[in-house]
Chains A and B, each alone.
Chain A
Amino acid sequence: MGAGEAWIHPGFLFLFGCLLIPLLRGRVKKFYLLLIPALSIAAVALMKEGVYWRSHYLGLEIVLGRVDKLSLCFAWVFTIMAFLGSLYGLHRPEDGHHIAAYCYVGSSLGAVFSGDYLSLFVFWELMAVSSVFLVWYRGVPQSIRAGFRYLLVHVFGGLSLFMGMMMRYWSTGSLAFDRIPTGAAGLPEYLILAGFALNAAVIPLHAWLPDAYPEATVEGAVLMSAYTTKTAVYVLARGFPGYEVLAILGTAMTVYGVFYAVIENDMRRVLAYHIISQVGYMVAGVGIGTAMTVNGACAHAFAHIIYKGLLFMGAGAVLYMVGTSKLSELGGLWRYMPWTMVFYIVGAVSISGFPLFSGFVSKTMTVSGAHEAGRPILMALMELAAIGTFLSVGLKVTYFAFFGKDSGKVAKEPPQNMLWAMALASLLCFAIGVYPKMLYVLLPFEVEYRPYTAHHLLETLQLLSFTGLVFFLLVKKLEPEPKVNLDMDFSYRMGAKYFMWFDEKVIAVLDAIWGEIWKILGLRALFGGAKASVAFDQVGIDGVVDGTAYGVRGIGGYVRRLQLGSLQLYIALGTAMVFIILALAVLE
């Protein structure tokens, strides 16, 4: 191990590999777009644990290749998802879209292997900047706007992270990114935590996610659903295991997400709210902080990336072929897109945690972990969220999009590459479900856990099956409505709206009035000021004329203070000036 040993950074394969994309055409380009992810999977498979690519920069230690069980687990799923996402997006004509996707995947992998805050921060920002193009390439006005909101929120989160890491550097002299014990956390650590939490869509910092993801391109949303939030789960698992605030907010996320998913109308927005819900299990697992729940968080991140990608592929295929993903305008698609439906349902039973599919072997790990860690209330809330997951993703979307009222919309199955990507993802969901060992060996801790016990099976089947019963009794109540639902983005969307209104109506008017005031009274004030300075000069000159060195020094100090005085002094003087002029205006 060490810096000398050969090691290939899978993220750099993407970051530099994207440069060749514009030079290639046709079949060669398609082959190349799949080759890079395949090479990155191979690079991860050949990797050995250790620390690579260590260097020094400005007296700081930069580590680009920290390879241990935790980073390997995320690298595996990130590279696998890159392959599935590339396959799904092969038909996309714009090179820029592929380049943005590659930069996004590459920087996520960069963040996963970073051993210090500085390189982490650089990759962190690159992720935000590259992923916003996946929103903008949709090219419709609402996605342009949503992209700007997405970017602004992430810049805010990045600044919080940056502030935290700088403060931490000043106090500890190190930028190494390691576990921060709960007792040692102060303001800098909590600023870093807030920056991470924003990317993990921890409530109340979550609104960017259901705002932007449903406005992204069909292919971009598949990738975005995987990387931003799960990179954040990775850094939380790395730095902040055992933080009670994460246990509570994570559990709250699980319920919050499904609550909105039940009322949402847009298929992709339902899925976006379910990212919040599912990432909630991971955040809660990290927050509870036992070996089993942290394992559960990593296992769930792994399973989630694949089934959520699959669900976004299914919903994206509907949007791509039908032209809308609003449930109120869909219905009866089973006749036209049966394979898309089957693959979507595989994703849906996986996320719902049905036995034999991937969600079951990962979600129950976190839930059982909460149970065994003595957190029955958290566990009950997670089970409530599991009900809502099956209810909204499994039943509501499937029913209203593919069955339900026939919308009269006629469609075809999506292109072959999209179907193949969905088929592969479905196969993986199933394989992990039947053979969970292949996932468990990748987890950071050695924990004995068997998901397929009679008790687990019965518990899960009872919970989900009776949810199904209630769905069919209350299906009329769940009719999707073409509405938008208020969420935290209300604050900055309306905030911006009122700010602009205030700017146009109040500030602009005040500015005009101010201009008038200045025109009428500014001159008078200037004359007054000139008179005063003349008087001052006379006093100063008198002092010099009087010839006392003491007087000169005193006045010199006075003048110097006026000219070179501190900023506060100038601000205070400026404010005083404004008040004087206003007072003159009132008198006038």
Chain B
Amino acid sequence: MLVGFIAWLRKHIRGLRNLLVAYLLALVVLDFLLARHHPHYWFDEVFAFWAAFGIAGCFLLIKASKGTAHLFLSKPEDYYGSW
């Protein structure tokens, strides 16, 4: 039953994707409609700030961590030997 449902979802991946894009747009539009209660800092008043923060932060994290890993953090699996 569960497997059938997931298979069905995977079959309609294109529709699912469109739905998700619509959802993302709705989140940004809603931000425009909702009033801000008590802003403390400048970023509390920027339109769609957390959407932008999400995009920038995620991009930065992937680039920074994968970059450092390839630079020097990652070693072969037997690096420590029997230690």
Interface residues of B (CB under 8 A from A): 2-3, 6, 20, 23-24, 27-28, 30-31, 34, 36-37, 40-41, 43, 48, 50-55, 57-62, 64-66, 68-69, 72-77, 79-83
With A263-B73, A484-B76, A484-B77 as contacts: A258 and B54 at CB distance below 8 Å: no
CB distance from B47 to the nearest CB of A (A): 11
Q: Which residue of B lies closest to A478 (CB)?
A: B62
Complex interface: chain B residues within 8 A of A334 (CB): 3, 6
Interface residues of A (CB under 8 A from B): 141, 145, 258-260, 262-263, 334-335, 338-339, 342, 371-372, 374, 376, 380, 383-384, 387-388, 391, 453-455, 458-471, 474, 477-478, 481-486, 493-494, 496-497
Contact of A458 among B27, B57, B60 (CB under 8 A): B27
Q: In the docked arrangement, what's the CA distance between A392 and B28, Å? A: 24
A485–B75 CB distance below 8 A: yes
A342–B59 CB distance below 8 A: no
Complex interface: chain B residues within 8 A of A470 (CB): 54-55, 58-59, 62
CB distance from B44 to the nearest CB of A (A): 9
A263–B65 CB distance below 8 A: yes
A259–B64 CB distance below 8 A: yes
With A145-B83, A376-B41, A455-B34 as contacts: A387 and B24 at CB distance below 8 Å: no
The 4 closest A-B pairs by CB, nearest first: A466-B54, A470-B58, A483-B74, A462-B50
Complex interface: chain B residues within 8 A of A460 (CB): 50
A-B pairs with beta carbons under 8 Å apart, 20 shown: A258-B61, A259-B65, A260-B65, A339-B2, A342-B2, A374-B40, A376-B41, A380-B53, A384-B53, A387-B53, A454-B34, A455-B36, A458-B50, A459-B50, A466-B54, A474-B62, A483-B69, A484-B80, A485-B73, A493-B80
Complex interface: chain A residues within 8 A of B36 (CB): 455
A335–B3 CB distance below 8 A: yes
7 new A-B contacts at CB < 8 Å, known A334-B3, A372-B40: A371-B40, A376-B41, A463-B53, A465-B23, A466-B54, A483-B76, A483-B77
CB distance from B56 to the nearest CB of A (A): 9
With A339-B2, A462-B48, A483-B75 as contacts: A263 and B58 at CB distance below 8 Å: no
A262–B77 CB distance below 8 A: no
Contact of B83 among A342, A461, A477, A497 (CB under 8 A): A497
Q: In the docked arrangement, what's the CA distance between A461 and B54, Å? A: 10
Complex interface: chain B residues within 8 A of A145 (CB): 82-83
Q: In the docked arrangement, what's the CA distance between A493 and B61, Å? A: 28
B37–A462 CB distance below 8 A: no
B64–A387 CB distance below 8 A: no
B57–A478 CB distance below 8 A: no
CB distance from B66 to the nearest CB of A (A): 6
Q: Which residue of A lies closest to B3 (CB)?
A: A338
